[in-house]
A and B are shown apart, each in its own frame.
Chain A
Amino acid sequence: MIRSRNAALAIVPAAFLALFFVYPVANLIWRGLGSDLGRLGDVMTGGRFLRIIWFTIWQAAASTLLTLVVAAPLTWVVANRRFPGRRLVRVLVTVPFVLPTVVVAGAWIALAARLGLDEGTIRIRHTVWAILLAHAFFNVAVVVRSVGGFWSQLDRRPEDAARTLGASSWVAFREVTLPRLRGALLAALSIVFLFSFTSFAIILLLGGPRRATIETEIFRWAVTRTDIATAAALSIVQMVAVLALVVLNARLQRSVGGRQGMVRDRARAAVGARARAGTAGSLMIGGAFLGAPLVILLERSFRVGGEWSLENFRSLAERVRLLPISGLDALLNSLSFALAAAGIAVVIGGLGSLVIVHGGRFWSRVLDLGLLLPIGTSAVTLGFGVLISLDRGMLDLRSSWWIVPLTQSLIAVPFVVRSVVPVLRAIDPSMRDAAATLGASPAVVRREIDLRIGARALATGVGFAFAISLGEFGATSFVGRRSDWLTVPLAIERLLGTPGEVLRGQAMALSVILMLVTAIVVLIGDRLHPDGGGVL
């Protein structure tokens, strides 16, 4: 009976994936290559393409590594130390995530100029370092929130036991903690890798005109040249690479084998000067990396004609010239899309996670791989695919309001899944058995144990879903959107598309508002869950 119910649960996420991802993408690739399969051979053997494929892979790997290094101090401190504003740190890391790349790139260039990093021997701009640093900047949140969240729920008694038995804190971390963190780490890093693998604006704006990845090439062929065959061939290459990585990752994660004790919160307050210094130092490292460009942005938003002023913000309340709606309406649009996208992501990601952990082997694997794939798929392929596929009868969603949150949720679902699955996997099955022995029905077991423990992870994922939608990731620019649906990131880009100091000031002020709103929304999302459930 449980088996059949699991199959029923699998239908919703599987149908969602099939309809909004597999069908559009397959349709576009078929359209592109159906008549011209030879392009695939050209792409696979052309020296230039091979160089691009290689660059795409190694920059994504290096970005992932750099993200891990940069995120490590914050992740540790958020998981292990109790300090005022801890929850706020978890919230603030998501802020960079939503900012339009062109805004962040501008802030970075200004910062580099101010620190003297863009002249003489050290040049960051238009080097691969700019790409790697920007990917780390945007993705720190992924590691801090999902690994930090998991870690904070990990029972610390095994480490304490190791320490009691004489292990140094490093040995205890390496031998006891790290193996238990592996599942969550792999999950987060796979997302960072895929994000870097398919990133678009960062490569173009910061990498300089010489750098090309599979993603920017797909855009160039499909959009600038309307050569769908070549774009489809490149998409296949991209998907094969992504699929290989995802399969490897899933295998590694399954081998982790979970089953650690989960607690409500392992963090303790720092005791003693050394511990306090450790807390403060970790926060400062993370804060400087994420905060410095944001400070430049803040400064710009409060400057008018070389003087400090609130004018940029004040003028946003009215309808700004060049925007079809007021800044406030754009904000409401952004929030509506974000709520819808997060809602869809919770349903699909939540059900998907349950099936991945408890479902039959087939559906578990299909969803485990399938739900991650959209992040690793070109926005161009997906956007054009939607345009030519969801175009008839009831499914003609091309100019529907819902196509925007639906497309965004494809990118948001993996965040929910990768946050929730490691936690569900880590729940000790003896806990479920104990509950069942004590007379709890399977439904009660699921509710009292899985849902309560998974709630924080679900909230983590919801926060990301909001952020993904607020930040306008993915394929949404390809589907037609009405001008009165203008969102904040699009409004910012619109303002930055015309010369004038006032316009730039307003764009910066809107960016600051976007940051603030993101923080508030993610904070609300974090507060909605009952703090890890207290069942333990």
Chain B
Amino acid sequence: MKTKLFVFAMLFALLAAACSGDDGASVRELGDDESSESASSGSASSGSGSASSSSESASSESASSESTSSASASEEAADEPEATDDVASDDDDGTVAPADDAESEEAADVDEAADVEECPTITLITHDSFFLSEGTLQAFSDETCISVEQLAGGDAGQLVSSAILTKDNPNADVLFGIDNTFLQRGLDADLFLPYASPALANIDPSLILDPENRVTPIDFGDVCANYWIEALPGDVPTSLDDLLDPVNEGQFVTQNPETSSPGFAFLLATIAKYGDDWEDFWQGLVDNGVTITAGWEDAYYGAFAGYGGPSSIVMSYASSPPAEVLFAAEPIDEPPTGVLFDSCYRQIEFAGILDGTEYPDAAAQLIDFMLGTTYQEDIPLNMFVYPVNPDAVLPPEFVEFGPLAENPLSLSPEEIEANREAWTERWVEIVLG
């Protein structure tokens, strides 16, 4: 805050100088002021540096033991991929192997710990929709003495493309927010170091998509059609085929899969459901007057009946009804919307340690923390997705109004990456003509 005010004062002075023109040398003065700008940038960064070092000293002791064990685990994973393959083939044993090796390599780790900074600051890069409650990442710093700087790097597509472009010199240590629709691209580009967190043992194996553990599942959710109950012209839709019912003509709005992540998820849902007949289904949607928007916002807030639009069915998430309850203007007992579970496509978001990090051990500890209950319980109300850790307690609104689909649709990351262009191009031909 102080640096911000300082910058304020500086720049007001600069502007005043620029505009008043009282001094004969005002042109030169402008140049001088620029150099002092860069000086203040220096002070800004030193300010943040000192802040982190004070938090580091607080709890360096408690961290050292933990960092040793997970450090060896990550090294294990990085150096001997064959070993992790074995681990992955029977998921339940995942924790055992790294724990054993931790002891055998303990001596080496102690040496390395002396070389490497004990309380480093690591960078977590995420997509723009990432938020946590205040203090959640601080809890990690208090526990481990590792400070975390979080950066937002655009939407999920921007995030993955940026990571691939900066692969030789990554601007972060851990990346969070690559989902199953982009996963294969990240894996093909060798972005991540393998790391099998001990906490994975607890997690539903169907969420662990990479057998080499180059990425770790953190949260998941279902992309599903929602309907505004009062605005439905006919019966409550229960299957995808109901979207083709003439009674729902002009009632369905979804997003362009080329520009929207839920839009792409829905395209994948139809392919998973109908196989080669997906094109016929979409032709049916077009004949029944489907509306296409660029993104989620203009579908939900621009075209959905609850917000003044003409469509009673919109592509959104299984967690949207709890949000409608939580953020209702007047308190309500029941959400005004319902979920068409037959349309649900499962989306899983992963974190991975970026190859090129200087602090693989600290990064591994952050992954462990992200799977712990402190972090996992903070996910639902900030990002409206579900924690992967079954021990995390869900908020009551999620339990009551946000059940997940029992049999969500899904496709493998390999299949998605291999066919992405062909599918979206075919979609454009059918739907946009």
Could you tell me the distance between the alpha carbons of A458 and B27 in the complex, rounded to whole angstroms? Answer: 13
Is A286 on the interface with B (CB-CB < 8 A)? no
- Taking CB atoms, residues of chain A closer than 8 Å to B192 are none
Is B166 on the interface with A (CB-CB < 8 A)? yes
Could you tell me the distance between the alpha carbons of A205 and B296 in the complex, rounded to whole angstroms? Answer: 11
B226 to A, closest residue via Cβ: A499
- Taking CB atoms, residues of chain A closer than 8 Å to B44 are 401-402
> Do the beta carbons of A340 and B150 come within 8 Å of each other?
no
- Taking CB atoms, residues of chain A closer than 8 Å to B171 are 387, 391, 398-399, 480
- Taking CB atoms, residues of chain A closer than 8 Å to B302 are 105-106, 109
> Do the beta carbons of A336 and B323 come within 8 Å of each other?
no
> Do the beta carbons of A478 and B153 come within 8 Å of each other?
yes
Is B292 on the interface with A (CB-CB < 8 A)? yes
> Do the beta carbons of A209 and B149 come within 8 Å of each other?
no
> Do the beta carbons of A499 and B161 come within 8 Å of each other?
no
A118 to B, closest residue via Cβ: B310
Is A360 on the interface with B (CB-CB < 8 A)? no
- Taking CB atoms, residues of chain B closer than 8 Å to A205 are 293-295, 298
**Contact status of A344 and B327, CB under 8 A, knowing A223-B157, A528-B15:** no
**Contact status of A500 and B33, CB under 8 A, knowing A225-B421, A336-B8, A343-B11:** no
**Contact status of A462 and B34, CB under 8 A, knowing A228-B165, A340-B11:** no
CB distance from B405 to the nearest CB of A (A): 18
Is A354 on the interface with B (CB-CB < 8 A)? yes
CB distance from B137 to the nearest CB of A (A): 10
Is A110 on the interface with B (CB-CB < 8 A)? yes
Is A525 on the interface with B (CB-CB < 8 A)? yes
Segment at the interface with A among B74-82, B128-136, B277-285, B370-378 = B128-136
- Taking CB atoms, residues of chain A closer than 8 Å to B34 are 12, 344, 347
CB distance from A314 to the nearest CB of B (A): 13
CB distance from A472 to the nearest CB of B (A): 12
CB distance from A453 to the nearest CB of B (A): 10
Is A483 on the interface with B (CB-CB < 8 A)? yes
> Do the beta carbons of B295 and A388 come within 8 Å of each other?
no
User: Which parts of A367-408 form the interface with B (CB within 8 Å)?
Assistant: 384, 387-388, 391-392, 398-402
Residue from the list A336, A458, A483 in contact with B150, Cβ < 8 A: A483
Could you tell me the distance between the alpha carbons of A195 and B281 in the complex, rounded to whole angstroms? Answer: 39
Residue from the list A106, A324, A444, A459 in contact with B301, Cβ < 8 A: A106
User: Which parts of A334-361 form the interface with B (CB within 8 Å)?
Assistant: 335-336, 339-340, 342-344, 346-347, 350-351, 354
Could you tell me the distance between the alpha carbons of A479 and B152 in the complex, rounded to whole angstroms? Answer: 8
Residue from the list B150, B162, B324 in contact with A499, Cβ < 8 A: B324
- Taking CB atoms, residues of chain A closer than 8 Å to B295 are 102, 204-205
- Taking CB atoms, residues of chain B closer than 8 Å to A481 are 151-153
> Do the beta carbons of B41 and A324 come within 8 Å of each other?
no
> Do the beta carbons of A324 and B134 come within 8 Å of each other?
yes
Segment at the interface with B among A49-57, A242-250, A268-276, A502-510 = A502-510
> Do the beta carbons of A499 and B165 come within 8 Å of each other?
no
- Annotate A95-136 by CB proximity to B: 1 below 8 A, 0 otherwise: 000000010011001100100000000000000000000000
Could you tell me the distance between the alpha carbons of A10 and B339 in the complex, rounded to whole angstroms? Answer: 62
CB distance from B46 to the nearest CB of A (A): 12
Segment at the interface with B among A60-68, A85-93, A489-497 = A489-497
Q: How many chain A residues touch B (Cβ–Cβ < 8 Å)?
A: 87
The B contact surface, by secondary structure, is helix
- Taking CB atoms, residues of chain A closer than 8 Å to B432 are 209-210
A446 to B, closest residue via Cβ: B27
User: Which parts of B1-54 form the interface with A (CB within 8 Å)?
Assistant: 4, 7-8, 10-12, 14-16, 18-21, 23-27, 30-31, 33-34, 37, 41, 44-45
- Taking CB atoms, residues of chain A closer than 8 Å to B412 are none
> Do the beta carbons of B259 and A458 come within 8 Å of each other?
no
Interface size class of B (residues with CB under 8 A): 35 or more
> Do the beta carbons of B151 and A482 come within 8 Å of each other?
yes
B31 to A, closest residue via Cβ: A12
Residue from the list B21, B130, B294, B298 in contact with A451, Cβ < 8 A: B21
- Taking CB atoms, residues of chain B closer than 8 Å to A494 are 128-129, 131
Is A156 on the interface with B (CB-CB < 8 A)? no
CB distance from A45 to the nearest CB of B (A): 18
> Do the beta carbons of B258 and A220 come within 8 Å of each other?
yes
Could you tell me the distance between the alpha carbons of A501 and B308 in the complex, rounded to whole angstroms? Answer: 12
B264 to A, closest residue via Cβ: A224
CB distance from A219 to the nearest CB of B (A): 8
**Contact status of A347 and B33, CB under 8 A, knowing A210-B432, A528-B19:** yes
- Taking CB atoms, residues of chain A closer than 8 Å to B114 are none
Residue from the list A226, A332, A343, A392 in contact with B14, Cβ < 8 A: A343
- Taking CB atoms, residues of chain B closer than 8 Å to A266 are none
Could you tell me the distance between the alpha carbons of A399 and B300 in the complex, rounded to whole angstroms? Answer: 33
User: Which parts of B282-325 form the interface with A (CB within 8 Å)?
Assistant: 292-298, 300-302, 307-308, 316, 320, 323-324
- Taking CB atoms, residues of chain B closer than 8 Å to A332 are 4
- Taking CB atoms, residues of chain A closer than 8 Å to B21 are 447, 451-452, 455, 530, 533
Could you tell me the distance between the alpha carbons of A220 and B264 in the complex, rounded to whole angstroms? Answer: 13
- Taking CB atoms, residues of chain B closer than 8 Å to A438 are none
> Do the beta carbons of A480 and B152 come within 8 Å of each other?
yes
Is A323 on the interface with B (CB-CB < 8 A)? yes
Is B215 on the interface with A (CB-CB < 8 A)? no
CB distance from A290 to the nearest CB of B (A): 21
Could you tell me the distance between the alpha carbons of A368 and B309 in the complex, rounded to whole angstroms? Answer: 47
> Do the beta carbons of B15 and A342 come within 8 Å of each other?
yes
CB distance from B364 to the nearest CB of A (A): 21
Is B154 on the interface with A (CB-CB < 8 A)? yes
Is A163 on the interface with B (CB-CB < 8 A)? no
- Taking CB atoms, residues of chain A closer than 8 Å to B151 are 399, 480-482
CB distance from A359 to the nearest CB of B (A): 12
> Do the beta carbons of A478 and B154 come within 8 Å of each other?
yes
CB distance from B158 to the nearest CB of A (A): 5
> Do the beta carbons of A336 and B298 come within 8 Å of each other?
no
Is A222 on the interface with B (CB-CB < 8 A)? yes
- Taking CB atoms, residues of chain A closer than 8 Å to B296 are 497
CB distance from A251 to the nearest CB of B (A): 28
**Residue among B128, B185, B300, B381 with the most chain A CB within 10 A?**
B128
Is B160 on the interface with A (CB-CB < 8 A)? yes
Query: Given A497-B297, A498-B384, 5 other A-B contacts at CB below 8 A?
Result: A205-B293, A321-B327, A350-B27, A400-B45, A479-B153
- The 7 tightest CB contacts between A and B, nearest first, are A500-B327, A480-B151, A305-B329, A204-B294, A339-B11, A451-B21, A502-B327
The contact sample of 23 A-B pairs, CB cut-off 8 A, is A204-B259, A220-B258, A224-B157, A321-B326, A332-B4, A343-B33, A344-B37, A346-B18, A350-B30, A384-B165, A391-B171, A401-B45, A443-B25, A451-B26, A480-B152, A480-B171, A481-B153, A494-B128, A499-B300, A499-B316, A499-B327, A500-B327, A533-B21
Interface residues of B (CB under 8 A from A): 4, 7-8, 10-12, 14-16, 18-21, 23-27, 30-31, 33-34, 37, 41, 44-45, 123, 125, 128-132, 134, 149-155, 157-158, 160-162, 164-166, 169, 171-172, 185, 256, 258-259, 292-298, 300-302, 307-308, 316, 320, 323-324, 326-330, 337, 381-382, 384, 420-421, 431-433
